[in-house]
Amino acid sequence: MIFNSIRARLQIWYGVILLVILAGFGLTAWQLERGHLLGRVNSELDRRAGFLVTAVHPRPGGPDRGSPNQGGPGRGGPGPNGLDPNGPAFNGPDRGGPPFDRPLPGESPEDRPADDQSGPPQDLRLPPETAGLFDPGDPTHFYFIIYDRSGRELKRSTNAPAQPLVTSADLPPPRPSGVRRPEGPGGPPARVYRSNGDRLELGMPTPMGGSIHVGASLAPELKELRGVACELVLVGAGILLVGLTGGWWLTGRAIRPIADISATAARISAGDLSQRISLTESGSELGRLATVLNSTFARLEAAFAQQKQFASDAAHELRTPVTVLLTQTQLSLSRERSPAEYRQTVESCQRAAQRMRRLIESLLALARLDAGQEPMKRLNSDLADLVRDCAGWVRPLAEARGLTLVLELAPAPCVGDSERLGQVLTNLLTNAIQYNRPNGEVRVTTAAAHDSAILTVGDTGAGIAPADVPRVFERFYRSDQSRTSNGNGLGLSICKAIVDAHGGSIEAASELNVGTTFTVRLPAR
């Protein structure tokens, strides 16, 4: 399945994140453009409504609110063509005619304030400049409807709809008799906006209680918004396509080391342990992983090589005593022998069997130590005491070879299995005696330093070649075959396994024709 691929999952997540970012950016850009277009329409509605208010209710004897040359209500002055909004073009043929706002039911003309006795005539005419703002041929499609105080329609543009979007219930109620609605900065007329589909309308009350409705078709703006939306979709799709293509290429490069690791592991599992992962970016996470895996593969190859060598050496060591057994028995059975000859044959077979037993016991001990199946006791002891005991066992052997056994023992407390540690000491002392020169010396010292117990065993033998020193702890390894024919090559390997099981370390240092020194460090607690 596609979700089983890391590359596909990374690509899907990358595509989803990129799509969300592009969608958020596109929606934000579209909303900003929509707000800009609608704000522009609102400004135009306000400006045209201001012109209508100025035309319907001019302020005699002073500057008018919203003269056309100012672009909106609130300031006086002549119109864009030098026309005075207080002139007869705004108010019909007779400025002193009957008022524009008829009295409400139960209201007499004398109840109305003095400044409310003037207003546009019932035959409302707009100046050409103001009427031109609502030309049906104008592509902006602006319209207006004017109502008087009683809700009677006074005038409308030819492109106005039958019913306005803003109803009388949406506007503030008419003022009570004798009370003027505040004008100017202290109390501007309320404005109410309503939209329906592709139409936006502004409704506002007039200073004398009537209302003016100015609206416009939003078809051009909606068409422009659709164009912007299409552009954003096309640009976003292009960016998404380029991003997905680049993401696929980038994820391919990112996981390429994983494919190399898998291929290398497959070749190794097929039996080629020499394969390694090529490192191109050692500092990255995958580079560090490849370094660790290469180190693991190297140790695995060394372990397999050691196992093969171990099996070969074990077979070689066992073959010699088995050959001795078969040869002696065949010779004895080939003809009749004397009792003395039979006894000699049995003794030879016994020596071969004992050698096989020692080898098998050593192999079993190493196998248990490697598997962690050989429990180590954690008891407080002193290396100095252990050395004294072991030195007493090997001293006759040293005296037989004319060697001097020198002990320089200081208290060296440690934690471990005294029986196993005694085995280590015995092996080291036996090797120092066996490989020493005649009348030589074996020096053993103990000391305590830095939470460790230190033991050194040195001899004055011929030494070990520098190339052979790192290999002395390998199993079945002998640096001098002529001098170690009586051993099986496992003594030092067992010593190292026991010391490692205690959490310590063992090292060898040697110089030709001077001697060899083994140093053991064990934890003090």
Residues 150-165 pLDDT 10s: 888 888 888 888 888 8
| 103 lies in the same domain as 142 | yes
Give me the residue label for tokens 């140790």: 299
* pLDDT band for position 166 (cuts 50, 70, 90): confident
Q: Is 162 helix (H, G, I), strand (E, B) or coil?
A: coil
Give me the residue label for tokens 């001077």: 514
Q: Is 256 helix (H, G, I), strand (E, B) or coil?
A: helix
Residue spans of beta strands (DSSP E) within 52-168 = 142-147, 153-156
Per the domain annotation, does 496 fall within a domain? yes
Cβ neighbours, 10 Å, residue 201: 22
| 407 lies in the same domain as 289 | no
> Max alpha carbon distance in the chain (Å)?
168
| 55 lies in the same domain as 103 | yes
Per the domain annotation, does 238 fall within a domain? no
For 405-409, the CB contacts below 8 A with 24+ separation are 405/441, 405/442, 405/444, 406/441, 406/442, 406/443, 406/444, 407/444, 407/445, 408/443, 408/444, 408/445, 408/446, 409/384, 409/444, 409/445, 409/446
Which of residues 330, 352, 371 is at a domain's end? Answer: 371
pLDDT of amino acid 163: 84
Per the domain annotation, does 306 fall within a domain? yes
Task: Return the structure tokens found at 491.
Answer: 């003594």
| 386 lies in the same domain as 453 | yes
The residue with greater pLDDT, 285 or 185, is 285
CATH code, domain carrying 490: 3.30.565.10
Per the domain annotation, does 431 fall within a domain? yes
**Local structure of residue 165 (DSSP, 8 states):** S
Q: Is 390 helix (H, G, I), strand (E, B) or coil?
A: helix
Q: Is 19 helix (H, G, I), strand (E, B) or coil?
A: helix
Per the domain annotation, does 397 fall within a domain? yes
CATH code, domain carrying 355: 1.10.287
Average pLDDT score, the chain: 77
pLDDT of amino acid 138: 64
pLDDT in tens, 495-504: 888 888 888 9
Please check the confidence at residue 430 and state whether its pLDDT lies above 80. Answer: yes
| 121 lies in the same domain as 99 | yes
Q: Is 445 helix (H, G, I), strand (E, B) or coil?
A: strand
| 58 lies in the same domain as 155 | yes
Looking at 57-127, list the stretches that DSSP marks H as alpha helix, in order from N- to C-terminal side.
Answer: 88-91
Residue 480: give the domain boundaries: 379-523
pLDDT of amino acid 109: 44
Which residues in 491-501 are b (16+ Cβ under 10 Å) and which e? Answer: bbbbbbbbbeb
pLDDT of amino acid 299: 83
Please check the confidence at residue 325 and state whether its pLDDT lies above 80. Answer: yes
CA distance 91 to 101: 13
| 48 lies in the same domain as 195 | yes
Give me the residue label for tokens 């001697």: 515
pLDDT of amino acid 184: 46
Helix axes 418-434, 383-400, angle to 10 degrees: 30
CA distance 154 to 99: 13
CA distance 502 to 261: 36
- The total number of residues shown for the chain amounts to 525
pLDDT of amino acid 186: 43
CA distance 387 to 457: 10
The residue with greater pLDDT, 32 or 258, is 32
pLDDT of amino acid 76: 34
Per the domain annotation, does 180 fall within a domain? no
| 419 lies in the same domain as 464 | yes
Angle, alpha carbons 294-296-298 (nearest 5°) = 70
| 9 lies in the same domain as 127 | yes
Q: How many CA atoms lie within 13 A of 461 on its CB side?
A: 23
pLDDT in tens, 291-319: 888 888 888 887 777 777 777 767 766 77
Please check the confidence at residue 65 and state whether its pLDDT lies above 70. Answer: no
Please check the confidence at residue 6 and state whether its pLDDT lies above 60. Answer: yes
Give the residue-averaged pLDDT of 333-358: 83
* pLDDT band for position 108 (cuts 50, 70, 90): very low
pLDDT in tens, 216-275: 888 888 888 999 999 999 999 999 999 889 888 888 877 777 777 888 888 887 777 788
| 367 lies in the same domain as 459 | no
Which of residues 323, 351, 371 is at a domain's end? Answer: 371
Q: How many CA atoms lie within 13 A of 271 on its CB side?
A: 0
CB 58 within 8 A of CB 70: no
Note the Cα 287 to chain centre separation in Å.
17
* Total domains present in the chain: 3
Per the domain annotation, does 489 fall within a domain? yes
Percent of the chain predicted with pLDDT > 90: 16
Amino acid at 48: R
Phi, psi torsion values for 200, nearest 5 degrees: -125, 135
Per the domain annotation, does 402 fall within a domain? yes
| 360 lies in the same domain as 412 | no
Please check the confidence at residue 189 and state whether its pLDDT lies above 50. Answer: yes
CB 87 within 8 A of CB 152: no
pLDDT of amino acid 218: 86
| 103 lies in the same domain as 138 | yes
First to last CA, the chain: 56
CA dihedral sign of residues 363, 368, 372, 376: negative
Highest average pLDDT, of 50-64, 269-283, 472-486, comes from: 269-283
pLDDT of amino acid 479: 61
The residue with greater pLDDT, 210 or 481, is 210
